[in-house]
Structure 1
């Protein structure tokens, strides 16, 4: 289903870096338009956020239409709503056109408030949605055991299996003549006479569909990385809600059902936090405690997490990359709405490469001037980054020794006065690395749930051997040899 025949003598119309929903949508649109496109994916297609999403397809977003209007005016809010709707339409269109079997189901969505403050927020969300023509109504009935004060129902929401959908796009892309290169890491771009070289791939346009463009760039200071958690449980009752259900807590919870390997399960998600800042084990435990409080759980079948980036002014950055050569594009800052926004990004980016006007291009332009009210959020997020850069580096945290490191765990420890990111595997072998993130020099922390080293500054993640799992880092953590656990 994939193809890797990149011809070194060929100049492609575009190289798409990243094989998630943004990358495949963009590449397929360009290939269908008669362009010659190659996808370069560092791991395997869908490896990153697309494989971790709980795959909600909504007509609303985490950034409310009221918030969008406050920052970008009534026209901006309307365009945001239209972009979300068009992203949903792109997904439905491709499923129908190519007959993609991806468990696509249309379901109502419910958003409920449990107290007076949340009820007030709900009213603002309602009025903001009505103003931009998004279908929403108040309802007295929500298929949830959680007591609530007020609730909204959104018709025409949907869910699907994101990896099966990606496989459908992949099949169509290859059938149209597209080329896919998996396990191909693009770290830098060389540009000469308008031709961009990404390793041995040459193209007239480069599209970073990597969730966060690699290396140091402007978006490191305009998007904050977050982890989001999901557990899948089996219920004793066998009765599952046939809807997408969200509360208004901060951080929030959501539930929906899905059939996995012939077995219906309840997916419970939320409790998001900044990457590298809190204990993932507590997040999973919190989700389990929450769901056991309201549902009669038979067993927990799966648990996983995913990463997304929150933009400082609420809207994603899609288009020509600032301070980069002409013809280098990116898309980032989807908040928690990557399915719709990743899809519409594909249309905006492909239109840019094709030289076509796109009505959303200006609203999402990466070089846009930030609204004044986003400045305080920018300062807050980057003050937090600065703290971790300094505090972790100079050893404010209590030191430890390698001999106290239990099998299956990792920690930044001090050995002979030097900090080491150390992981002891189940066989007792120490995997020792430099704890200094290769992206911007912050100190990584251990994520015991996913056995990874996570950077608290910009969200880069590394495996136990230091290899990059999630950008914006492009280089592995340095290995430290001959570590003596007796020190």
Structure 2
């Protein structure tokens, strides 16, 4: 199956693209248009359709093309933003709401798996959180104390099921894992069985008000009319306040075969480094894989990204005997300014526009909870639903994330200004060697150049179509990434990841040469 990167994730291997999509758009008004075919969009479409809504889902590429196809599929009740942090930034009620909701999300996935008979290897596992110094041990003490008080099944332990070093450790029970693509495709099938319409390769480029009651979406497969729209695109397209409240990050993953069959940890494991490392085992068609990830960084802010895979391998080799690396890939997520996602009405728009973004590293859980929130808001019109109130994208209380809000805004401004500085010049296109990419000035024009392994030169305008920042080369996934808001493009300028909703301008190399 396809994904928004060159590297093949574990879930893609021997997995064809989803094929059960619909062939045409009916001339009707749907209750809800869901944009995006990851876990958020498919879960939302399924839940709304199941409860009486007439839904149409439009995926710009293929199902699972985005972050769902690159996740490591941990299902946690211990989130990236710890419960002590949530209590400090919000209050204890907020922490309790998130704790209760995470358990509900795991139960929803389990129940859906059983009800729809989806063979996605859903399994409950213990998780372990490891501290490696005094500061981390103090933080762990706080996490254990607050989490236990919220009803999370957590306690200290002296043993972990992996040869990893640690000073102190906690065990968290009733965590889970699954195959996200098998689950995604199974839920999508039932959405269609319920009468829902699913369109792939249907890129939504524009949405306008058509009448007082209907919206008109322009897509690559025709016009879609709907009363409401849900952006399940990881980050909303266009220009919105949420782009200042969400920072794009990338994380790197290895799926390896170990020398010793007994070495695979039967658990989910996390250390407390910054950024943290994460481990789990996945069996696919009788073969076990150790999934190991980390080395996160802000999108478009680092060089030599493919070296991150080597760094992961070196680190893992300290504890495990690696027989072979089967897959390696990276994936993108958006970190919210105050630590909690934004799910509900899209800021700056009326009540017909909905969004779900800022999941951090907990996309499987928050994507599932987003579907539940959309059900409460759209089907039940229940804006008093506690989780919806807490995660409202229009929340004005910036105190909780104000320092991050200012920091990210300043960072974006610096990249935006830097993106308008003069590029270095080259005189000859032949100086770009196979496998090399550069943003250069050629014949007085800014050009992003990449020469592929076969010697073909690809040229695009390096100015991001979202807010005019200059893109940077990602040598790990062979893409052009925007350091301001995380838009990503293929070597030929096609949009891979929003918020951009227009491709980079493709430049015909012969025309460049003709201007010499």
* TM-score between the two structures when normalised by the length of structure 1: 0.97
Q: Which deviates the most, 421-430 or 439-448?
A: 421-430
- Give the alignment partner of residue 279 of structure 2, picking from 244, 249, 255: 255
Q: 1:420: Cα distance to partner?
A: 0.9
Look up the match of 1:424.
Answer: 451
**Does residue 439 of structure 2 align to residue 409 of structure 1?**
no
Alignment RMSD (CA, Å): 1.6
Match of 1:195 in 2: 214
Q: Which runs of 4+ in 1 moved over 6 A?
A: none
- Aligned counterpart in structure 1 of residue 349 of structure 2, from 324, 343, 362: 324
The SS at the match of 2:387 is coil
Within the alignment, does 1:445 sit opposite 2:464 as a pair? no
Note if contact 2:443-2:515 (Cα within 8 Å) is conserved in structure 1: no
Deviation at 1:37, TM superposition (A): 0.5
Mark the CA change 1:81 to 1:400 in structure 2 (over 3 Å): closer, same or farther.
farther
1:367 matched residue in structure 2: 394
CA–CA separation in structure 2 for the residues paired with 1:324 and 1:296: 54
Corresponding residue for residue 484 of structure 1:
513
Which of 286, 289, 301 matches 2:314?
289
Check 1:340–1:156 CA distance in 2 against 1; reply closer, same or farther (3 A cut).
same
Counterpart residue number, 1:342: 367
Which residue number in structure 2 is paired with residue 269 of structure 1?
A: 293
2 CA distance for matches of 1:315 and 1:365? 10
1:151 maps to 169
SS in 1 for 2:389: coil
Q: Distance in 2 between matches of 1:461 and 1:342?
A: 21
Look up the match of 1:56.
74
* TM-score between both structures, scaled by the size of structure 2: 0.91
The whole-number CA distance in structure 1 between the counterparts of 2:124 and 2:297 is 29
Question: SS of 2:480's equivalent?
Answer: strand
Match of 2:377 in 1: 352
Number of matched pairs: 486
1:222 to 222, 225, 245: 245
2:116 matches 1:66: no
Offset, 1:356: 3.6
> CA separation in 2, counterparts of 1:405 and 1:338?
38
What's 2:153 paired with?
A: 135
Does the C-alpha gap of structure 1 residues 235 and 485 become closer, same or farther in structure 2, counting only changes over 3 Å?
Answer: farther
1:123 alignment partner, one of 131, 136, 141: 141
Once the two structures are superposed, residues 155-201 of structure 1 have per-residue CA deviations (whole angstroms, 9 ceiling, x without a partner) of 11111100000011011101111100110111221112120111211
Gap regions ≥5 residues in structure 1: none
**Contact residue 136 and residue 152 of structure 1 kept, 8 A:** yes
Distance 1:194 1:131 in 2: 47
Tell me, yes or no, if structure 1 residue 86 matches structure 2 residue 76: no
Unaligned runs of 5+ in 2: 1-18
Whether the 8 Å CA contact 1:71–1:371 is kept in 2: the answer is no
Give, in angstroms, the shift of residue 70 of structure 1.
1.0
Alignment partner of 1:40 out of 58, 63, 69: 58
Structure 2 distance, partners of 1:187, 1:131, is: 47
| Aligned-pair CA distance for 1:9 | 2.6
CA distance in 2, matches of 1:282, 1:399: 27
Residues 313-346 of structure 1, C-alpha deviations (whole Å, 9 max, x = no match): 1111011111113211000000100111100100
Any conservation in 2 of the 1:420–1:433 contact (CA below 8 Å)?
Answer: yes
Range with greater deviation from structure 2 (368-377 or 193-202): 368-377
Q: Which residue of 2 aligns with 1:108?
A: 126
